[in-house]
Amino acid sequence: MKKLELKTVDIKKRLKLALYGKSGTGKTMAAISMPKPYIIDTENAIKYKQYIDKVKERDGYIYQTSNFKEILEKVRELLYTKHDFKTLVIDSISVPYSIVSNDFAGNPSDDLNAFNKNTSFGANTKKADIVFYPLLDLIGKLDMNVILTCHLKDKYTTTVDKYGKSISEVSGNTYDTYKKLDYFCDLLLELYQKDGSDKRIAKIMKSRIGSFKQGSSFEFSFDSIAEIYGREYISDSDKDNIKKIKSLGIELLEKGSEPIELITPEVEKELNNLLIDLHIDDNKINEMLKNANAESISDMDLEYSLKCVNALKNKYKNKLNSLYGSDAKDNINNDINM
């Protein structure tokens, strides 16, 4: 058996961070302090002078909405179009998730303005998760830093007493939104303030970034994030050079974004022809669009659409071979590109 060769690949991921904490701990200010932020303000909170001044200082932009479809549309725009923004901030992601849970998932409609409806939140979360997944999938593909702020809620642990009765008790805090949010983020932080201090302390609750040690805490600021993030990618020869470490971290966080290329008209035409020639039914097409996280073929990215074209070409070849024999191979390309 051939020995598998392990190669070191120099991949510098964009920072994907979820931040939760009590009201008033400074989550919004912490999030909008990141480089050149595009801020989706779901709580109409970034209207006070200190926030406006910080957004101007960071050369950011504010878009106010709690409508899930609008949020999805804006993230698509950031993913597929060229722009100068470096950080996506959704402040908070708890609000649209609550709206989807209370209204859109429980009673499908286009009305997402039901945040204050008195409906059963828990009963609807499974449906809401299905609706919410495409947003987090798009966020994962973004070539930008991503900061998602979340509300705080009690975390419960269920135990069984000596009589066999289940008892739920508060065992700590967690974020109040999509339950598997931490699977999409590389870093999960709980933000708090020490008594009598204005300093924001971040406790690392979960981390896929080696330099951010799970269970440890640090004073939250852009400089501290940059220094710790830089340690993940610094060369061994410079691991004690604080100046170089911080400089590398800033460079990574200040990096511009590159959009994902959308399907070209030529590939779209070829894909549509193949779908028609092979009589692909609507269910299969809808499944393809779901996998592409696209509403229509024209919304598909180029890489995935080319994979679909190649798969359908193979299917087309097999179909012609079964009908006319292997001699049909020489004419296939002409047939499918007509």
Determine the pLDDT at residue 325: 56
Residue 117 gets which letter from DSSP? -
Mean pLDDT for the stretch of residues 273-293: 84
Distance CA 185, CA 139 (A): 9
Distance CA 50, CA 120 (A): 36
140 and 176 both lie in a single domain: yes
125 lies in some domain: yes
286 and 247 both lie in a single domain: no
200 lies in some domain: yes
Mean pLDDT for the stretch of residues 118-132: 61
215 and 86 both lie in a single domain: yes
Q: How many CB atoms lie within 10 A of CB 260?
A: 16
| 82-to-74, 85, 220, 267 alpha-carbon distances in Å | 13, 9, 30, 21
Residue 5 gets which letter from DSSP? P
- Whether a cis peptide bond, with omega within 30° of 0, leads into 326 is no
284 and 224 both lie in a single domain: no
11 lies in some domain: no
- For residue 96, the domain's CATH number is 3.40.50
Q: Which of 61, 87, 38, 68 is nearest to 135 (CA)?
A: 68
Determine the pLDDT at residue 127: 73
pLDDT tens profile 50-91: 889 999 999 999 999 999 889 999 998 999 889 999 999 999
62 and 131 both lie in a single domain: yes
Where among 253, 281, 314 does a domain terminate? 253
pTM above threshold 0.85: no
- Under a CB-based contact definition with an 8 Å cutoff, are residues 312 and 278 in contact? yes
289 and 200 both lie in a single domain: no
152 and 91 both lie in a single domain: yes
Determine the pLDDT at residue 118: 39
Q: How many CB atoms lie within 10 A of CB 272?
A: 12
Q: Domain limits at 22?
A: 16-253
198 and 281 both lie in a single domain: no
Mean pLDDT for the stretch of residues 266-287: 85
- Give the start-end residues of each E strand in 142-266: 145-150, 152-160, 166-175, 187-193, 200-207, 217-219
279 and 326 both lie in a single domain: yes
Where among 253, 281, 315 does a domain terminate? 253
pLDDT higher than 50, residue 31: yes
- Give me the amino acid identity at 209: I
Determine the pLDDT at residue 86: 93
Q: Which of 151, 148, 100 is nearest to 128 (CA)?
A: 100
Determine the pLDDT at residue 136: 86
258 lies in some domain: no
Determine the pLDDT at residue 271: 86
237 and 280 both lie in a single domain: no
Is 249 or 108 the better-scoring residue by pLDDT? 249
pLDDT higher than 80, residue 324: no
pLDDT tens profile 131-156: 788 888 888 888 899 999 998 887 77
Is 37 or 276 the better-scoring residue by pLDDT? 37
Mean pLDDT for the stretch of residues 101-111: 53
Determine the pLDDT at residue 40: 95
